[in-house]
Amino acid sequence: MCNPFKAAVIGVFTLAVASLPGQAQMNGTNWMPLRVEYKIHFPYLTNESSRYWVTNGVYHCLVFSNDPPFRAGNTTQPRTEQRFLPDYTHGDIQYQAMLMANTNENSYCIFQIHSGDAQSPQFGATTFMLFWFASDGGSVYDYSRKELAANLGNNWFQLNVEHNVDAHTIQVWINQKPVWTQKDNGAGDFYMKDGVYVQKHHPTFQMDTCISNILMWERGPER
């Protein structure tokens, strides 16, 4: 585990942007802070407080490989994720946080951009996912295809993801270094998630992600 202490938390959460340090958004100026609000997806036959807790500003997401999905009848892999609210349909949105995952844990998503639920059947469920693997000292990949950074295990690292819906582009920075650029899937409705979402590349029994200093912005008009 990346944080040994826990406290139960319930429901929908809002973070006061002004109380969070590190206004270090990437890619230019005119970024305006957004209220950070989210709800928790967690394995439905468990207690939320056994899979998700907050201590001293650190958000801890935990999943075991034999956990059930996040709701009855769902066929996806187990997950404990922060699902950010609301969906966004236009403009230029940027997520930033500090994340930490364990070097000896493998095969889970720590961040994703999801198509709006109503548009998922047409455009696909996700347009970007960042996978965590135990290889190379703890590494992150664009899905399971291309390694974007290595030697991150058991260390805090800064993740920035910018999604320009109008231009259909996604850019990613790790520790303020640009590591990835792509087109999105063409949908017009999206939301972001972070935490732990099990994947099928030999997952370990236990998977943890710790997250802190979550910030979100929307780019304002040029002046």
CATH number, domain of 71, equals: 2.60.120.200
Amino acid at 68: P
Pairing mode of beta strands 52-55, 190-198:
unpaired
Q: What is the pLDDT of residue 14?
A: 52
Q: Is residue 48 part of a domain?
A: yes
Q: Which residue has the higher pLDDT, 5 or 216?
A: 216
Q: Is residue 184 part of a domain?
A: yes
- Token representation of residue 160: 């920035």
- Token representation of residue 223: 């002046």
Q: What is the mean pLDDT of residues 92-99?
A: 98
pLDDT at 4 over 90: no
Instruction: From residue 146, give the alpha-carbon distance in Å to each of 35, 48, 124, 133, 162.
Output: 32, 33, 20, 12, 19
Q: Is residue 1 part of a domain?
A: no
Pairing mode of beta strands 108-115, 190-198:
antiparallel
- Global pTM reads 0.91
Instruction: Say how many domains are in the chain.
Output: 1
Residue 71: count of CB within 10 angstroms of its CB: 11
Question: Which domain range does residue 165 map to?
Answer: 12-219
Find residue 198's DSSP bridge partners. Answer: 108
Q: Is residue 4 part of a domain?
A: no
Please tell me the distance from the alpha carbon of residue 125 to that of residue 178, in angstroms, as a whole number.
25
Find residue 38's DSSP bridge partners. Answer: 13, 84
Q: Is residue 215 part of a domain?
A: yes
Instruction: From residue 56, give the alpha-carbon distance in Å to each of 49, 125, 215.
Output: 16, 33, 16
Q: What is the pLDDT of residue 23?
A: 56
Q: Is residue 205 part of a domain?
A: yes
